[in-house]
Structure formats: C-alpha cells, structure tokens
Amino acid sequence: MSTVKSSVRPLTELFEPTIEALQLELWGVEHIQQGKYSLLRIYIDADQGITADDCANVSRQLGALLDVEDPIAGEYTLEVSSPGLDRPLFTAKQFEQFVGSEVSLRMRSAIEGRRKFQGSIVKLDGDNIFLHVDGEDYELPHADIDKANIVYAD
C-alpha cells in the first residue's frame, strides 16, 4: 500500500522522526503552491488530542529543521494543526482506520465519468479503496485520490 503522495514523501520522511520524538503522530503533509509562495501545512495527532502548545512546539522544531535542511525553494508559510473532525485522509492505512465512515473525495482523473465522490468507506483491498456511493460501490485507486476528508455529521 502506498503511504504518502510522492510530492510530499521527502518532507514526510524529514519531519516524522522529529514529530515522533515529541510523542506525537504525523497525520499528514500538504504542500500547496501559490505562485512563488507556498503553504506547508503539517497535521499532527495524538490519542489525547492536540493542544495549541503542541502545535507551537512542533512549529518551532520543524522551523529549525527546515532552516537547516532547506528542502523548499522560495518563500513559504509553515502551518501546524490538528486534523480536526473533518480530518483529511492521506494514507491507505488512514482509510482503513475509518472503514464505515463517510468520506468526501476528489480523484485526479475521472472514474466512470466523475471525479468527486461522497460515500462510506466499505473496505480496502491492496491499494484500492471501496466506496459505497448512492447505492453503488466504486473501486478507487488510492494513488489517484487528489484529496479526501472525513464528512463530519453533528
């Protein structure tokens, strides 16, 4: 099973040891290009939840690491946060963790004429996510998922 999108894999591998040393889990990394600027968003998680102090501590640690390693060209903003209730899903393992939950996702390319899906995660088989949408089951390759979030219902 693929674990992270290839574009952020080097960043994930760079950040993971530092975050784990702080007794936290690296939930995911987003690197969003915005012209010559970019946004580097790091999601952290822990069984007991995430505090503002956790985010500030990780931000300081990763800021120092980024200054030394300099893996991102140009100017960027570093943002560290909890994944929240409508948490994004990055890895196949995370999809497996949320089997039975409703998810909203967008594919990189159309499958059966559509790119957007919202439904419940049925199962994982290898690197494929099975999603139940409007009475039909879809088999979606994890590698082709552009963005996915848990749908939080009050």
Q: 54 exposed, middle or buried (CB, 10 Å; 0-12, 13-18, 19+)?
A: buried
Q: Where are the alpha helices (DSSP H) in the chain?
A: 9-21, 52-69, 92-97
Strands 37-45 and 75-81: parallel
Write down the domain spans for the chain. Answer: 9-81, 92-150
pLDDT digit string, tens, across residues 7-46: 788 999 999 999 999 999 999 999 988 888 899 999 999 9
Task: Give how far Cα 16 sits from Cα of 9, 65, 105, Å.
Answer: 10, 11, 25
How does pLDDT run across 52-111, given as a tens digit for each residue? 999 999 999 999 999 999 888 888 999 999 999 999 999 999 999 999 999 999 999 999
Report, at the CATH architecture level, how domain 9-81 is classified: 2-Layer Sandwich (3.30)
User: What is the rounded CA–CA span in Å between residue 43 and residue 4?
Assistant: 13
Indicate the fold that domain 92-150 takes in CATH.
Answer: SH3 type barrels. (2.30.30)
Give the pLDDT confidence score for residue 2 in this predicted structure: 36
Q: 147: which strand partners?
A: 106
